[in-house]
Each structure stands twice: as structure tokens, then as C-alpha cells.
Amino acid sequence: MASSAEVQQTLLDFVQVLIHQVLFARKVYPEETFEARRHLGVAGPDNFALRSRHPELCAYIDGAVRDLADLLRRGEAERLAILVLGAPLAQSSAAPSDVLVVPNVLETFVLELSGAPAAISGVHKLLEQLRGFLVRVCVCEQQLTPLAPEELSFSLEVHTVHAPSEELCQRWVSCSRSEAGTGPSRIVPLKSMVAEEAGFDMRLLVAQRQP
């Protein structure tokens, strides 16, 4: 028997690995800056999942996942967006002397969530389902248009069902969903699951901006 807290931790561990896997798969950082870690038996390079070696990057991702924990427990986490960014875009404002710098969102990996983790009889089936998501990210380049070789970065967005708490607002910058991308996008579904016993559903897709 796995408690709801254990199921939640399993999901959070998965989200943490998922973020690192996306950064590796889309070459946001050089391949040599990642190290192999076994997680859920994912069939990645050398049968390992990848994790960044950079302490500050790991700390940023770990902090974001910790903030997600309370939202998951209350069933208020609606989606997590991993934005792959190119060089910032400059746009003229109303004042001729002012230039606005806006994010250049090339791709958005969207993990949609509904429900809240619940106790289950065992985690084996859940682990198998989560493993499927990581495998799809490992091979996502087969479905996505290659990104131009340029300096990339990323940001994370957490979309909530209700207005976030004051404490969360102190650590996250408020944004509108319209800011998650610019221009027409091609939607590429990667994986979905219905975990009835575990109490939540999940879907992963990519919105890739078109030229």
C-alpha cells in the first residue's frame, strides 16, 4: 500500500526528472553538462535518465518542484510549462525611445494535471505509466522540428486552478497564459495517462512555434 504522500512524492520525483530530461533532449545546455542517473528504469542514453551537473540549475529546479508539492496536495496544480527560449525579441513601444524586450518562446512543453494524488495499493503500475512519459521525451526529437543552433535558455511556469497564495507569489512572477508563446504553434501530443486509483490524470504535449 502506498500512501497519498508517497504517491505525491513519486509524482514530484518524476516532474523533477522530466524537466532535466527536456533540457537535455532539446539541447538547452551542452550534453557534457549532464550526468546519467537511473530513474524509473527509463530507456535513455545508457539506460539512464539525465540530470544537470550544475548546482545552481539543480537548486532552481528542486525549488520549483517543492513549490509544486502543496499545489498538488490540494489539487490546485493545473499545468506545468517548460518554456524553451531563444534570444530575446525587441519590440518598439508607444514611446519611440523605448524598446521592449519580450521572451522568444520557441517551444513549450506542457504537463497538464487534474485531480490530487491518492493512496494506492501499489506503485508498480504508476511507475510504468510515468516511465512512458520519460521515454517519449527521450525520443521527442523524432516528432519535433530541430531547433536552430543558437544560445538557448528556459523558464518554468506553474498554472493554478485558483489564485496562488501570497507566499507563492513572493517566489514566482505572475504572468498571463498569453505570454506562454508568440505566433502560431504546432501542437504535438507526446503522452497521456489516466491513473484512476492514484486520483489524477496527466497529459504531456509540446507547442512548437511555427516560422
C-alpha 171: how far from chain center: 18
> How many domains in the chain?
1
User: Range of 141's domain?
Assistant: 4-209
Here the CATH number for the domain that contains residue 121 is 3.30.900.10
Tens digit of each residue's pLDDT (9 = 90 or more) over 86-139:
988 765 455 555 556 677 899 999 999 887 788 888 788 888 889 889 989 989
CA distance 167 to 75: 17
pLDDT surpasses 50 at 74: yes
pLDDT surpasses 50 at 46: no
Burial class (CB within 10 angstroms; exposed 0-12, middle 13-18, buried 19+) of 176: exposed
Strands (E), 15-94: 34-37, 49-52, 77-85, 89-92
> Are β-strands 99-102 and 153-160 bridged in parallel, bridged antiparallel, or unpaired?
unpaired
Alpha helix ranges (H) inside 74-211 = 124-138, 166-171
- The percent helix, strand, coil of the chain (3-state, each to 5) is 35, 30, 35
Kindly state the cell numbers that stand for 189: 501530443
Tens digit of each residue's pLDDT (9 = 90 or more) over 181-201:
556 789 999 999 988 777 789
